[in-house]
Structure formats: structure tokens, C-alpha cells
Amino acid sequence: MVQRVTEVVGVDRESFAHAVQNAVTTAAHTVRDMKWFRVSEFEGAIHDGKVTEFRALVRIYFDYEEKGHP
């Protein structure tokens, strides 16, 4: 088995967990056979001394499809 990896950034105003879920949910629209993920980085935005945005850099692993073989 061979897997491919794609990196996406999830963003949310509530939490890092929601940012990760947003990344996975959005990727699921175009990536098939997702198997697992790894969060590489967390970061956020601050405005007037308050956290206003959460970001998560998410690596999503999925099975590689050979041409003619699912």
C-alpha cells in the first residue's frame, strides 16, 4: 500500500478542534479514501488582546490510486 499526503489549513473562530474538523470536512469533498490526519501546527489571530481565530495545519493521509486500480 502507498499513501499520499495533502496539507490543508482549517480555520475557525471557536477552537482548534473545530479548525481541524473544518479542514477534514472540506478536504472530504475532493479527497477519497482518507485514512488519518496529523496536525502539524497551531496558530491563531489576536485582535485587541483577544483570540479571534484558530488555525490548524493538517496533513491528511489517503490511499494512492494507481491508474486503473481503485
Could you read off the pLDDT of 1-53 as tens digits, one per residue?
788 999 999 999 999 999 999 999 999 999 988 999 999 999 999 999 999 99
Q: Are 13 and 49 in contact (CB under 8 A)?
A: no
CA distance 35 to 26: 15
In DSSP terms, 6 is beta-bridged to 60
pTM for the whole structure = 0.85
The whole-number pLDDT of residue 1 equals 78
The cell for 14 is: 471557536
- pLDDT range class, residue 68, cuts 50, 70, 90: low
Query: Residue 65 has what pLDDT?
Result: 74
CATH for the stretch 3-63: 3.30.1660.10
State residue 34's pLDDT score.
Answer: 93
E strands along 1-70, which residues?
A: 3-12, 34-47, 50-63
